[in-house]
Amino acid sequence: MKPNNSDKSSSLNLRLPSKKAAKSVAKKTAPSKKILYSIVHAIPGRIRFRIPLLAKDPEYANQLKLVIESDTKVTNVRANPKAASIVINYQVGGISDNQMREHLIGLIQTAQNVVLPKEVTTKSIIGTIFDAVINLIDSTRKINQARNVIVYRRVRTDVWERILSTSRSIIKRLKSATMFILPNKRWRLRGNGEVKSQPLQLQPVREVKAV
């Protein structure tokens, strides 16, 4: 017996994945985009790259600068996103200039996959602590008010309410004064909570043709 048209369409629908599934698979298997670059100038211990993406993508510029600065062989990094260039100074010796150049080219290509660490400030940490204390006082006040309603059948201002209300006002004023005095010092935290970044290890990379 020959299958009718309805049987053919049903079997075809079973074989074809949904559009959402196809997009999901394509997204998972899509490789990282190739970063275009050119070497403008290079001498032992110093190299300058021109990378057009630096001028177009601030996030990539931060990623690349952070990755290169974390390298133990690198002594100084100067990035100029407007000019789409980055100058890297590194220690001479240990490895050849060609190996270091290949290593830096590898970092240019892989920096887009680096997750930037979170940045915190002194003010944000202290502010969070003050806010937590204020929220604790507010929660205690609500509990005390609920107890007064149950016991006295009405909302009344007792000794605890006065103490908690006064404490809240003092802490809010102290917070404002502290936030005004504190310097806005910044730290970068990695995913595991460490403040100090770990140096990157040199790894062999495939040669990438310059553009």
Q: How far is CA 163 from the centre of its chain?
A: 42
* Secondary structure (3-state) at 9: helix
Output the DSSP codes for 108-165.
HHHGGGPPPPEEEEHHHHHHHHHHHHHHHHHHHHHHHHHHHHHHHSS----HHHHHHH
pLDDT of residue 28: 44
Question: Sign of the C-alpha dihedral, residues 101, 106, 112, 114?
Answer: negative
Specify whether the CB–CB gap between 211 and 36 falls below 8 A.
yes
pTM check: above 0.75:
no
pLDDT of residue 184: 62
**Residue where the block lists tokens 């790894």:** 203
Q: Across-strand partners of 88?
A: 47, 77
Q: What is the DSSP letter of 169?
A: H
Output the DSSP codes for 70-93.
TBTTEEEEEEEGGGTEEEEEE--B
| Interior angle at CA 80, CA 97 and CA 89, nearest 5 | 25
Specify whether the CB–CB gap between 156 and 148 falls below 8 A.
yes
pLDDT of residue 136: 93
Residue ranges of the chain with per-residue pLDDT less than 50:
6, 8-14, 16, 21-30, 191-211
pLDDT of residue 5: 53
Q: How far apart are CA 35 and CA 48, in angstroms?
A: 16
pLDDT of residue 114: 75
Q: Determine phi and psi for 183, rounding to 5 degrees.
A: -75, 150
